Amino acid sequence: MATVTKVIDAPRERVWAVLANGWSYASWVVGAAHIRAVDAGWPAPGASIHHSVAPWPLTIEDVTVVRAARPGESLELDAKAWPLGAARVRLELDSIDSSNTKIQMSEWIEHGAGRFLPSKLQVALLVARNRESLDRLGDLSRGDGPM
């Protein structure tokens, strides 16, 4: 499992608002290239984001499905990108004070070709990717990027 923690200088409600806006997913998730559709119930359990992964013309069309959500507190996702694989992603938010949020992002590969990479390489790749994803999430939460 790869875990990254970051303090974002934005209130927890603002960070959650970005996560709860399925259309913002490709703006903060490294590797997501295009959002084709977002289920009306996002981020309720069972709701999906229909996305493309990787740059064109190598795009893979797949979905990310909400496994569990506690509004303002946590979001657990099944992120798919077949044939590369599927990963479980858990985001946990905690208010440090009224203006700062600690977010922890944990990810582990559950299915597909990615499972066959050595575990140290999996963790190294996921940690680097997820650090950048949380940096982007911070930018959006502060209003420094498109949304």
By CB neighbour count within 10 A (0-12 exposed, 13-18 middle, 19+ buried), where does 17 fall? middle
What is the per-residue pLDDT across 74-97, written as a single tens digit (0 to 9) for each?
Answer: 999 998 876 667 889 999 999 999
Band (pLDDT 50/70/90 cuts) for residue 53 is: confident
- Structural domain boundaries in the chain: 2-142
pLDDT digits (tens, 9 = 90+) for 90-132: 999 999 999 999 999 999 877 766 666 777 877 788 899 899 9
What percentage of the chain exceeds 70 in pLDDT? 92
- 2-142 fold: Alpha-D-Glucose-1,6-Bisphosphate; Chain A, domain 4 (3.30.530)
Q: Which long-range contacts does 56-63 make (Cβ < 8 Å, 24+ apart)?
A: 59/33, 59/34, 60/84, 61/36
Neighbours of 117 (CB within 10 A): 15
